[in-house]
Amino acid sequence: MTATDAFIGLGSNMADPASQLAGAVARLAALPQTELLAQSAFYSSKPVGPQNQPDFVNGALWLRTELTPLELLDQLQSIEKAHGRERVQHWGPRTLDLDLLLYGNETIASARLTVPHAELANRDFVLQPLLDLDPERVLPDGRSLAGLRQQCPDNNLQKLNPVAREPFPPG
């Protein structure tokens, strides 16, 4: 099978969010048939939806994978579960949120998966990390990430300083 470039969004606002993301990065880098090509900076942002929750820490990864989109989604959800993710409240607090943002130049619309991610164009905390990874990236419909970022609502995005952390062990 041919390897495909996939972009993963990372988010957390519970249980030491930056450590949650670092652990997710380590686990994603260890996925079978997958290579981690690049990692964005981490950013803090205000929550979307209910405001009575902590700010989020977000970032993105660029992977090259031989996994199919649904196989990759299954891996993402397994990693979320390993980090204690519970789906209690829509847009509520979470230990870890992993989203398949882009998968090659594919457009996918199924019951389980929508790619490009449905809210990508409305989220500065998704667009900016993607731009960190690939400033020239264009969506399958021809829109550029840079153009979308210029039109995107402001969510008080703040770039975080890197912090040396021990990631969770893979597995």
Active-site residue list: 85, 94, 97, 99
Quick one: which H or E segment has residue 122? none
Tokens of 156: 């008080």
> Rounded to 10 degrees, what is the CA torsion of 150, 151, 154, 158?
-20
For 10-30, the DSSP string reads EEE-SSSHHHHHHHHHHHHHT
Which CA distances in Å does 89 have to 60, 64, 85?
A: 23, 32, 11
Q: What's the CA gap between 151 and 73, in Å, rounded?
A: 29
Distance CA 71, CA 113 (A): 11
